[in-house]
Amino acid sequence: MTTTTMTRSGETGYEDMEATPAVSRPRRRLGLQATRSEAKRLSRRSFAGVGLGLLIFFSIMTTAVTFFAGNEAGGRMQSQIDLTSAEGLVAGFMTGADIFGIVALALWAAATASDYSTGWVRVLVQAEPRRWRLYGGKLFALVGYTVVGTAVAAVVSFALAPAFAGMEGISTAAWSAGAVTTALSTWLNVTLSVLAWGVIGVAVATVTRSVAAAIAGGVGYLMVVEGLLGLVLDESLMTYFPGSVLSAVASGGVADLAYGSALLIGLGYAAAAVVIAGLVFARRDITS
């Protein structure tokens, strides 16, 4: 198969064109094309830059608030963590888990819903009719970016924590004991929580196919609906709602919900979101 060149120079522009060499037949290797293709789109500044910027910004903010406001008796953001304990190093990052989750929800939802609002999903599905493969590729790419993003946010927080502690006169003597393990486990827990928020964002976006509706719905639920439900439902029941469960995962477990249970329930929510979004994407008419 040969090809020709289109020019605006004149109506006989094609006759003199030389044929270009035939392109080699596409090869499918390991099925990673969907992930790499999605990663290429996510690497744009408007997404990767904003996403990483937000995570870093909130990491700095929550770390500062944890040490400066949380250290004051009766302060509004008083930390529940003893900042002089070994967990003091990670307290700021851990405090930001829910906010990081909201950022992930919004970004994952935007990355998904924009495929519909721009019509790009039609192009994708025509090129790769195996929709589960496309969907999996998107999830893997988003997971990759988010893991990198939370890692950077964690490093920023862990780097700032000693400085902020010094400024507030908080002893960091106990921080060095098992610091690496504490930092890694905290990052892992927060990241798992954030990833769960992300897949919930994908599910909402796949169902609504609207960036605004997905973000408003997801964030509104977390910030408003779950809070309102807490006013009318039994407190023990609220422990098992997504917001509470994922906060517990990020914190490595809380008094009302052990880490193992929180992780199991959180995985259940994430799995449900993944399956719902996948089924909707696989079965829905994406051309309408």
Q: Which of 69, 72, 75, 126 binds other proteins (CB under 8 A)?
A: 126
CA dist., res. 198 & res. 144, Å (int): 12
Q: How far is the C-alpha of 192 from the C-alpha of 284, rounded, in Å?
A: 29
The binder of other proteins chosen from 61, 128, 140, 174 (CB under 8 A) = 128
- Residue 184 as a binder of other proteins (CB under 8 A): the answer is no
Smallest distance, other proteins to C-beta of residue 16, A: 11
Residues 181, 142: Cα–Cα separation, whole Å: 26
Least distance CB 258 / other proteins (angstroms): 43
19 binds other proteins (CB under 8 A): yes
If one asks whether residue 16 binds other proteins (CB under 8 A), the answer comes out as no
Three-state DSSP at 76 gives coil
Q: Least distance from C-beta 44 to other proteins, angstroms?
A: 5
Measured over the CA atoms of residue 86, residue 92, residue 95 and residue 100, the dihedral's sign is negative
Nearer to other proteins, 60 or 143 (CB): 143
Indicate whether 6 belongs to the interface with other proteins (CB under 8 A): yes
Q: Torsions phi, psi of 30, nearest 5? A: 60, 5
**Length of the chain, in residues:** 288
CA dist., res. 97 & res. 12, Å (int): 62
- What minimum distance in Å lies between the beta carbon of 50 and other proteins? 11
Residue from the set 75, 78, 80, 120 that interacts with other proteins by CB under 8 A = 120
Pinpoint the alpha helices (H) of 31-87: 33-42, 50-64
Instruction: Give the residue among 225, 200, 195 at the shortest CA–CA distance from 97.
Output: 195
Check: CB of residue 86 under 8 Å from CB of residue 177: yes
Site for other proteins in 28-67 (CB under 8 A): 28-29, 33-34, 36-38, 40-41, 44, 46
Nearer to other proteins, 236 or 287 (CB): 287
Question: Which amino acid is located at 142 in the chain?
Answer: L
122 binds other proteins (CB under 8 A): yes
The count of residues interacting with other proteins (CB under 8 A) is 48
Smaller CB distance to other proteins: residue 47 or 259?
Answer: 47
What's the rounded Cα separation, in Å, for the pair 34 and 282?
15
The residue ranges that bind other proteins (CB under 8 A) are 1-8, 11, 13-14, 17, 19-20, 22-29, 33-34, 36-38, 40-41, 44, 46, 114, 118-130, 285-287
